[in-house]
Amino acid sequence: MKNLENLHLRNSFIRELDNRFYARLAPTPLKGSHLIAFNPNAAALLDLPAEEAQRGEFLRYFSGEQALPGSEPVATLYAGHQFGHYVPQLGDGRALLLGEVVNQQGQAWELQLKGAGITPFSRRGDGRAVLRSSIREYLCSEAMHGLGIPTTRALCLTGSTEEVYRERIESGAMLLRMAPSHIRFGSFEVFYHRRQFEPLRELADYVLRHHYPQLEPGPEGYLAMFAEVSRRTAELISQWQQVGFAHGVMNTDNMSILGLTLDYGPFGFLDDYDARFICNHSDYEGRYAFNNQPSIALWNLSCLGQALLPLFGEPRAQAAEAANQILDEFQGQYEQHYWQGMATKLGLESLGREDESLIQGLLDAMQQQGSDYTLTLRALSHYDPDDAISHTGLRAQFPGAPFASWLERYRSRLQQEARPLPERRSKMLAANPKYILRNYLAQQAIDAAEQGDYAEIETLHRVLQRPFDEQPEYERYAAPPPEWGKQLEISCSS
């Protein structure tokens, strides 16, 4: 195990890339900083004992007051398509990459301090994060990890007495987040649109060295990297759809080159099932509605493919055709992961010819009745076709002709399965979470934290690490949301 002083930070961005890719600067310390939350599971990925969080140096390192040994902070450059419109320069406007830590398993984790102050890419912003948004990211990144979905992680959350203005005056905060890489689709777009193809190639080579070492630099390697990014993205989005997660701001600068869930802003999990659910109050046209996420992911991948096109070899028409073939495979990859995952959630051992219709029928019934997405699937996990009491219980919880009609179809389908009931139930309970980070739960933690009470953050964090398990002492976190909880408006500043 390590202590803070021998984490042996290194910054391969500085070692291997020049200042066309970043700006070097130190964090701006928070005023009146204090530690709000610490995640020992994330610390373990750095071989860092939990006891280190109790040291005064821990707070100083992660509030920007003191530099970690070996830290060489940089704000990275990128561009991106925001709500479909290209913005030539974005970049880390409030985050600094401190460097990487390599753990005993040889895994490298980038440490990024979010809310670290103004950078050259702040675009007239203040460079700060607010407590509200930092709590949401701290909790949701760990909730997604608990659900088995690729994501950035969160090591700690630091509060302050510093005032930050968004829609109102709020408390400033810092979040230390971790990922194997924070490189985005937009990291490539910026150089393509500037017609700077040499740094474009250098960045691609950097990504190959560190994250796709099985691939060799050159047209075939770059195409293979693009294909792998597309495949990972297809699988990621299918996982989002299966758990009812809406990202809210699927701009290309928020899409990870590793297929991670990146940048938690106005996210939301479905309460009552609505395929057209829009979690972002600022998304006036519904571009990033829940049911649009697969098509938006493909659109974003086409932007990445365009940015990488100069690397795919000549003639250009042949390179474009190869890229388009990869894009053409996306829908099939997505659907394969999605339908198979949904079949597992319904306890089906194999995906039959009519099963997609059965699954869609359930979603349609939930849409018509306004059924809670998570609670419906969890309740189905306990369904026994031969137990009339379980039928009555389900119909009582989800009344109405659409669901009753679908349940008869489901009962007939289960009779074709050879899998014993206990095995099916076990598999379904492992695929259908009982606990998700509903917006109202996050809001309750935020409200308490703004009054100086951080206990709810800790409790929610503990519950969400085991979303599939029965946790009798936390049963209230699995309850349906109150009506006010379904009407919370979350904006990009969240």
Catalytic residues: 253
The residues, ordered by sequence, that sit 6+ positions from 118 with a Cβ below 8 Å of its Cβ are 28, 94, 125, 126, 127
Give me 414's structure tokens.
């289960």
Structural contact between residues 312 and 223, judged by C-beta atoms closer than 8 angstroms? yes
CA nearest to 143, candidates 484, 460, 469, 470: 460
Distance (Å, whole) CA 147 – CA 24? 36
How many CB atoms within 10 Å of residue 480?
Answer: 13
Structural contact between residues 56 and 111, judged by C-beta atoms closer than 8 angstroms? no
CA nearest to 46, candidates 12, 11, 1: 1
Structural contact between residues 463 and 474, judged by C-beta atoms closer than 8 angstroms? yes
Virtual torsion, Cα 435, 254, 494, 291, nearest 10 deg: -60
Distance (Å, whole) CA 403 – CA 412? 14
* DSSP alpha helix (H) spans, 91-160: 131-146
In one letter, which amino acid is 82?
Q
Distance (Å, whole) CA 295 – CA 283? 16
In one letter, which amino acid is 170?
E
Bridge partners (DSSP) of residue 76 are 22
